[in-house]
Chain A
Amino acid sequence: MEWPYDNEAGLLAEEDCDVLVLGGGLAGLHAAIAAAEKGARVTLLEKGAAHRSGAAGTGFDHWEMACTNPGCTVTPEEMTRALEEEQDCFSNAIGHYIETREGWDRLLDLEKWGGKIRDTEGEFTGAPFRDDATGLMYAYDYRNRYTLRVWGTTFKPALVRRARRLGVQLRDRTEACALLTCEAGGVKTGTGGLGFDTRTGRITVFRAKAVVMAMSRPARVWLFHSDLPGLCEFRPLSSIGSGHAMGWRAGMAFTMMEKSVRGEFSAAGRSFPPYGTGNNHNTWYAATMVDARGVEIPYVDRDGRELKTVLERYLPAPGQKFFLKGGVIDEPKYEWRGPETLPFDELMRRGYRLPFYADLTGMPDSERRVIWGMMVGQEAKTRIPIYENYTERGFDPARHALQSYGTGWQSAAFLAQERQLFGAPGGVMHNWNLETSLRNVFAAGDMLYASDCAGHACATGHWAGQHAAEAAARAPMREAGRDFVEETRQRLLHPLTVRDGLDWREINAAAAKAMQNYCGGVKCDSLLRQGLEAIGELKQAAGEISCRNPHELVRTHEVSDILDVCELILHASLQRKCSCAPLFFERSDSDESLAAQERCYLTLWREDGAVREGKVPLQFYGDLTSNYEKHREGGGLDE
């Protein structure tokens, strides 16, 4: 068949701006808007179409940790400390503090721009989770009210409208492929990026005074399925960590990349579509669960006390200030443990029978409607494939029970080597300005180390955009290195010159298998080194991939980025010598004598073809409140 779009392969264009934003998800759009509001000329490159791209393109239902919202009883300091201790300090306190201080402001922005953040129609008037004075709708802890239920399907279109109105140059269908850098005064400095038109193949050099990276995080590293590549990960097929890869190639420092968890979602294999099976977590919290005989499964508080009412599932235990639930919280420590159904093993011991079901039929009407209709409906990937399709199939939440699979909300049981960067994995190392180790290059959202969640992405995006605008105001425009541009151009187009070569999927599958073999649940030096060799060989083999059009080229660029990410993860794993439970990092050759020394962020970056390593103390960010004040609204750049 003929290619329906223009053919611009080989064309090289050039554009200038003050701030270049890479990635048009929640973080990238907020960054672009914040920079434009400060007067910067902004260009944003988005690989898909910003209107519905990214993890949250079709929505999200929880806005977490909005501690300055009018109903919240937890302070930003308290919440940041809790999140930090919860992760044994391997968390991102800077990001969390920005999130807890400013998340609510971002939500008010979104409302101003046309997003829906409260129950304006009075659909839930009188419900225990609704504040009738403001129409705000709370989730999880109804007493402390730090997390809101929101109409996330409305947010991306609202952000795109706002960005357009401010004159942001939105370049949809443009894949960011490389960072442009130079040495300035002995410091590696960002000077722009290279974009590849995913439909025509044109390459554009975007020169900029400052860059914000917001391309989410790696995926398809351990999990791949050649027949169903789109289903093998939790995030969109097109988000595979190109930001990490181009940062790594350019010498950017990363941390915690040795952290990975046993897989949680892969609907190509073990699991089902997220939020589409019976469960009582996240979107479905706190659904009633029953077993195969319809016997209700008890909820207990942190002391094992059985809860009698539905309302108690949303309240802290006696003597507990608040409990934690949400995206980065898996099995909280006692201090913040909230209500839960009894553990699976205990249920088996007590004779409960599989399969289990989520059963909304007997729940109070408002709880049933808010789970099925609002949360399932506003959460990403639920409006059409779950809410509408199940309704068409006849599902009625007042009559039916929805089956549960496996043992938990992931509805699956993975093997130890089937890993994922899930929860709050590693990422870009940064300072209070959200500036990376490359000068004038900032990062935001899920690209940051130990980061997750929509509100966090919006808050850090805004913060990074403000700082990038300030940095751009004092940086000169620099020329792009011609040799590097030419080299990259050839790399990007090379597969068009290969005839009857390999399919990109063969390389991705081989990489995933290599990572399962050499960087699985239990690691050791000799395996990891084999892994580096194997990935090196695959990089050679990737030169044999052939493509017939820009779409295939994009998938091929992704695979080459995935190989770079594999390398980064293998090096990070080699660097940490002692097993580390908070990072889910286990070694068979663990050197326990290093345990204390390694209680820090290990950082790594590439320089002159070699891998360099560093150490940063866990609480390097200092006092939260005073640093926040110093750096807010783009301040503190001279530090």
Chain B
Amino acid sequence: MSEYRYTVEVTASSVSPLAFDPSRCIGCCRCVEACQIDVLLPPQRKGGVPRVVWPGECWYCGACVMECPQKGAIRLRHPLMNQARFVERASLRDEAPGKLP
């Protein structure tokens, strides 16, 4: 028995980088084992999904998703402020012609 006791709480963050689909996840924890930062901990109960305990520490590398054997069981999403915009190329039109040299 160690003289120190360990406990753990979720460290709150304004972002939610990861989402699990419990209907697809088989709880194999390959995602947990792939993460070099240990953002995740194994499910608390058998049959559950891994727990995102340190969401703010995610560096958005995608290793957890790459290693998951169940397509769609885990999803990674950049915070809204980091979602880059894209547009139809055809929508870019010169509205004030004759301006370019």
Contact = CB atoms under 8 A, between A and B. Distances in A.
Interface of A: 1-4, 7-11, 47-49, 51-54, 57-58, 153, 173, 198-199, 201, 226-231, 233, 236-238, 267, 272-273, 276-278, 290, 292-295, 350-352, 357, 359, 361, 380-381, 383-385, 388-390, 395, 399-403, 405, 493, 496-497, 548-551, 554-555
B56 A229 contact: yes
Interface of B: 2-9, 13-15, 33-39, 41-42, 44, 53-54, 56-63, 65-67, 76-79, 82, 84-90, 92-95, 99-101
A635 B38 CA distance: 40
B41 A390 contact: no
A421 to B, nearest CB: 17
Contact of A10 (B3, B33, B38, B66): B3
A230 B56 contact: yes
Contacts of B60: 230-231, 267, 273, 381, 385
Contacts of B59: 230-231, 233, 236-237, 381
* Among A295, A361, A389, A493: residue with most chain B CB under 10 A: A389
Given A7-B6, A385-B76, A276 B84 contact: yes
A352 to B, nearest CB: 8
Contact of A57 (B63, B77, B90): B63
Contact of A400 (B35, B39, B86): B86
Contact of B36 (A7, A48, A401, A548): A48
B66 to A, nearest CB: 6
B97 to A, nearest CB: 9
B18 to A, nearest CB: 11
9 contacts: A7-B4, A49-B36, A230-B58, A230-B59, A233-B59, A267-B60, A273-B82, A351-B101, A403-B85
Contact of B61 (A1, A51, A236, A550): A236
Given A3-B8, A384-B76, A401 B63 contact: no
Contacts of A381: 59-62
B36 A294 contact: no
Contact of A227 (B13, B41, B84): B13
A357 B87 contact: yes
B89 A389 contact: no
Given A230-B56, A273-B78, A278-B84, A351 B8 contact: no
B7 A295 contact: no
Contacts of A550: 6
* Among A47, A381, A549: residue with most chain B CB under 10 A: A549
Contacts of A276: 78, 82, 84
B2 A7 contact: yes
Contacts of B94: 293-295
A229 B56 CA distance: 6
Contacts of B33: 49, 51
A267 B83 CA distance: 11
Contact of B6 (A9, A384, A389): A9
Contacts of A7: 2, 4-6
Nearest to B51: A1
B72 to A, nearest CB: 10
